[in-house]
Amino acid sequence: MLKLPRRKRSPAATNQENANNVATIDNDETAARTREVAEAKVVLCVSGMTCSACAVSVENSIKHLPGILDVAIDFLNDRAQIRYLPNLIDEDSIVKAIENAGFQATISKDSADHRSREVCRIRVNGMGCNSCSSMVESVLEEMYGVQKTHIALFKGEAEVHYDPKVVNSTQFIVAIQDIGFDALLITIGEHVSKIELKIDGMDNENSSTKVKESLESVVGIEDVDIDMGLTKVTISYKPDITGPRTFIEVIESIKSEHLKATIYPEKVGRENRKEKEIKQHYKYFLWSSALSVPVFLTSMVFMYIPGIKQILDIKVVNMMNVGHLIKWNLSTPVQFIIGSRFYIGSYKALRCGSANMDVLITLGTNAAYFYSVYIVLRSATSPAFDGTDFFETSSMLITFILLGKYLEILAKGKTSEAIAKLKHLAPETATLLTLDGHGNVISEVEISSELIQKNDVIKITPGAKVASDGIVVWGESHVNESMITGEAKPVAKRTGDKVIGGTMNENGVLHIKATHVGSESSLAQIVRLVESSQLAKAPIQKLADYISKYFVPLVILLSFLTWIAWFLAGKLHLYPKSWLPSSMDSFELALQFGISVMVIACPCALGLATPTAVMVGTGVGASQGVLIKGGQALEFAHKVSCIAFDKTGTLTIGKPVVVNVKLMDTIVLEELLELTAATEVNSEHPIAKAIVEYAKQFKEEHNPIWPEAQEFISIPGHGVEAIVRNKKVVVGNESLMMNNGIEILGETESFLVDAEGMAKTTVLVAVDRTVSGVIVVSDPLKPGAKEVISILKSMEVKSIMVTGDNWGTANSIAKEVGIETVIAEAKPQQKAEEVKNLQTAGHTVAMVGDGINDSPALVAADVGMAIGAGTDIAIEAADIVLMKNDLQDVITAIHLSRRTFARIRLNYIWALGYNLLAIPIAAGVLFPSTRFRLPPWIAGAAMAASSVSVVCSSLMLKKYKRPKKLDEIDIQMKGIIVQ
């Protein structure tokens, strides 16, 4: 990212300001004047802020610094404006404080200069290895206005975060094309949806102009792009304003034109491009094999078969024979036509001042090919020269590398299966309902689910997938949300409940009103989050980037030194002549060793070690309801040594429920609950609602009609009173009973003390001035919470509780789950401070909270885990989102990250170990003792196999299974439910 120069103050100015400060410190009036004169303002561009929680974190990182007067954060535009006293603090210190909080900050040129943020994804074709992706990344990040760039070599994509007021996506595409790669815009922005329509009948310039003009007049359409060759129109639009059905209606209503618009077939999208790429590699490999195998047979097999050998030895000109001509003619198209991709890749790399795998392949094959051409031409001009050519080396080397690339691209395709499965969760069609003014269904029609617009009413039949995010407006059913949240238990849905697109309706008919469509849907957000996380590099990737920077030049140097060493050893007779293979001199032997070194080295394996594992790991996590936002979250999660849990909504369910009812009189339970519910139904208090919900369980009707409560009185902080069925009912705490002169007997008093000692809330119910019962309300622990803390302890992860609740409740819950360290009555910012204290003590800290009140702590932690974030996953401050609202997924996240990182380490060990072992063998270290040498074409096959093996190693993560202890917890929970 381009950093603007920071304004420095001279030492003289600093000293003068300090002197002024000392001279005026005892005079308030003078100090005020000095403050007025010395006050300065700076505008910073702060990248990395994703929500208000980030803004809070940035603000808190600087507002406590000496000399800070005021801080204003605009996280939507990545802007921070700070007023400060330059005699107490400078701009560099402010920037450093923000960067220490985990954000990047640069000083803006003036107060009007601020950054808004836009994100675009670009398809980049032609990247062959890590050096290629580094070239693209370098070019993009050097552009002013670009905040950060993620390059996914294995996906052939670039994600660019930038300021649209300074630079745009078109400039990115031009910049990428200028360095020799093909670039295509995939998406732009997160608030704009894009759809492609196929238009039959748009066969001339006039009709396309009418289509463009008609669409551009529609409110909410951002951009219209027409491709006449494909009769396709691409429309960018705001889904909360308009939608695809409107576009089709507008197009088909154009007068004097007979146009038919449909959704453009998906098969022309990414999957089709991937299939095309696989077929192309397969075709290259087949053609290369068809030409290279005869060359190999002519050089290595046919020369030992009588009859065929005599034909191949027929002289054409001087010592040039038929065999020479056959090999030359067959290997030339392999070298220059089929192998042209390596020349193009080398040119692109060298043009940008770097070197990649293509450079190694080009140098190695050219050395073998042109030396062979020299041998053939020398044979044609000499009646006595007899040399050995290496045509089979260059042709077979290219063939094996193409085979490796073909297998590699097949394996890479499997790493993104998780995203493909997520994308296909949405049903292809939906039933659109038309309602009258009274909500009655007038008609229903089946449409493509891509044509659903905001506020449409959709019918969901039993066994069908929910077509869109929405709210149930009619019907009752159970919906299986496991495909989105990972939660296997079906969720009951009634009028007013939210549903998620892509989930499965089980037993009833639902009518839902679409609330989020297109890119706003939960499914689209999950896909975008997973895609984004797979683009983000893990910090350990810097190791591969650093090694790759020097790898190819070093290999070229080693190859040259190998050739020189063996050539001089032969010329100086440092080894016996008997070491030389038949029909080969010392120069040719040295050349083979040099070429083998050049082609056996594999920088690609290093480049693939981290991103392939991250892609598979995040995909596996998504399938289990654990959304890991990129490689950095994975890397820190595997190091976690301490977890700070929020209490309410994290360790506990988060809402009060009735856990016990104690009868203190002859009244029956059903009557007590009915009288209490009839009184409490008029209250909005959470405890009142919990009591009413509990009472409903004893009624046959789903929504029972309670007896009328007369003379209802609500006493804030105490309870409620009413007359129900001519009985005076008082519901509340001890204070309310005492105010009403109601006596609390010893047995009741003892019960209250015991319940409150266990951090439970007690509600007294008095009927006609006699305490008839006590209702115990609690925010119960989540199922399996105690077991989760125990498992974390066995994983050597310390657990603490950080809560805003009172000490009594906090200690009681902590004791129940097995947490020893408790911090209670902590405000949001104090939670963040406690996290920082743990970090100072040497812990890698994860914070688990609800992602809203705990946002400052989530941002401050090394790994923030938002639990139960539901459909708001895309806007949370957390690094990891646990969608199932299940504490077990904390363990899954840590365990999966450890497995993924172990796989990354294994990949690195293999990639580095392969090169460290293979290069010396190719250089001939075993030749003096064993006469073993590695022909260049076999070295090429080993190099290709190395990349494929790294990808296959990462694919092993797809077999990941969460710890068995978690399955045991599930079995226990099911047993409790059955009982």
d(CA 903, CA 950): 10
Closest CA to 647 of 811, 892, 471: 811
pLDDT at 17: 39
pLDDT in tens, 725-749: 999 999 998 888 988 898 888 888 8
Does residue 30 register a pLDDT over 50? no
Whether residue 404 sits in one domain with residue 485: no
Do 931 and 888 share a domain, yes or no? no
Instruction: Cite the active site residues.
Output: 646
Domain assignment present for 621: no
Final residue belonging to a domain, choices 213, 248, 264: 264
The length of the chain, given as a count of residues:
979
Q: DSSP readout, 883-931?
A: TT--THHHHHHHHHHHHHHHHHHHHHHHHHHHHHHHHHHHHTTTHHHH-
Q: Is the pLDDT of residue 111 over 50?
A: no
Say which amino acid occupies 293.
Answer: V
Tell me whether residue 24 is in a domain. Answer: no
In the listed set 107, 126, 157, which residue is the last one of a domain according to the structure? 107
Domain total for the chain? 8
pLDDT tens, position by position, 697-729:
888 776 788 999 998 998 877 889 999 999 999
pTM: predicted TM-score of the whole model, two decimal places: 0.63
Residue 205 placed within a domain:
yes
Q: Rounded to an integer, what distance in angstroms lies between the CA atom of residue 877 and that of residue 873?
A: 9
Beta carbons of 693 and 681 less than 8 angstroms apart: no
Residue 103, token pair as written in the block: 């954000």
Structure tokens at 294: 């005869």
The predicted pLDDT at position 329 comes to: 94
User: Distances in Å between the alpha carbon of 733 and those of 676, 689, 737, 749, 888?
Assistant: 14, 16, 7, 12, 36
In terms of domains, do 230 and 298 share one? no
pLDDT interval class at 123 (50, 70, 90): confident
Judge whether 935 lies within some domain: yes
**Per-residue pLDDT at 357 exceeds 80:** no
Give CA–CA dist 923/202, Å, rounded: 63
Residues 461 and 479 in one domain: yes
Residue 543: burial class (beta carbons within 10 Å; 0-12, 13-18, 19+): middle
How does pLDDT run across 394-404, given as a tens digit for each residue? 888 888 878 87
Q: Is 52 helix (H, G, I), strand (E, B) or coil?
A: helix
Q: Please report whether residue 154 resides in a domain.
A: yes
Instruction: Name 141's Cβ contacts closer than 8 Å, sequence gap at least 6.
Output: 1, 2, 148, 149
Residue 263 CB burial class (10 angstroms; 0-12, 13-18, ≥19): middle
Q: What is the CATH number of the domain that holds 136?
A: 3.30.70.100
pLDDT at 573 over 50: yes
**Residue 775: burial class (beta carbons within 10 Å; 0-12, 13-18, 19+):** buried
Euclidean distance between CA atoms 525 and 698, whole angstroms: 41
Residue 771, beta-bridge partner list: 766
Q: What is the pLDDT of residue 56?
A: 60
Mean pLDDT score of the chain = 80
Residue 24 or 625, more confident: 625
Last residue of a domain, one of 875, 892, 909: 892
Give the helix/strand (H/E) hosting 261: strand 260-263
User: Best-predicted range by mean pLDDT among 493-497, 563-567, 594-598, 864-868?
Assistant: 563-567
Contact 773/765 with Cβ under 8 angstroms? Answer: yes
> Which domain range does residue 499 map to?
429-518
Q: Are residues 371 and 395 in the same domain?
A: yes
| 689 and 760 assigned to the same domain | yes
Is 532 domain-assigned?
A: no
> Is residue 12 scored above 60 in pLDDT?
no
pLDDT: is 337 or 964 the higher one? Answer: 337
What CA–CA distance (Å, rounded) separates 117 from 814? 42
pLDDT at 288: 92
Lowest mean pLDDT among 536-550, 630-644, 818-832: 536-550
Is 881 found in the same domain as 812? Answer: yes
- Contact (Cβ atoms closer than 8 angstroms) between residue 286 and residue 338: no
Same domain, 449 and 411: no
Residues 723 and 788 reside in one and the same domain: no
pLDDT digits (tens, 9 = 90+) for 315-328: 988 889 999 999 99
Q: Please check whether residue 197 lies inside any domain of the structure.
A: yes
Give 255's pLDDT tier (boundaries 50, 70, 90): confident
State whether residue 819 is helix, strand or coil. coil
The C-alpha R_g of the chain, in whole angstroms, comes to 36
What are the tokens at 507?
Answer: 């037993």
Q: Which of 243, 894, 927 is nearest to 521 (CA)?
A: 243
Q: Which of 145-154, 362-371, 950-959 has the lowest mean pLDDT?
A: 145-154
Q: Would 4 be classed as within a structural domain?
A: no
Instruction: Compute the distance between CA of residue 76 and CA of residue 668 in angstroms, rounded to an integer.
Output: 58
Q: Are 504 and 478 found together in one domain? A: yes
CA nearest neighbour of 48 among 141, 115, 113: 115
Q: Are 831 and 909 in a shared domain?
A: no
| Beta-strand relationship, 146-152 and 182-188 | unpaired
| Residue 660 falls in which region: left (phi positive, over 0), alpha (psi -120 to 50) or beta | beta
Contact predicate 594/393, CB 8 Å: no
pLDDT given at position 876: 54
Averaged pLDDT, 792-804: 90
CA angle centred on 486, ends 480 and 490, rounded to 5°: 25
* Contact by Cβ (8 Å): 154, 611: yes
Do 412 and 290 lie in a common domain? yes
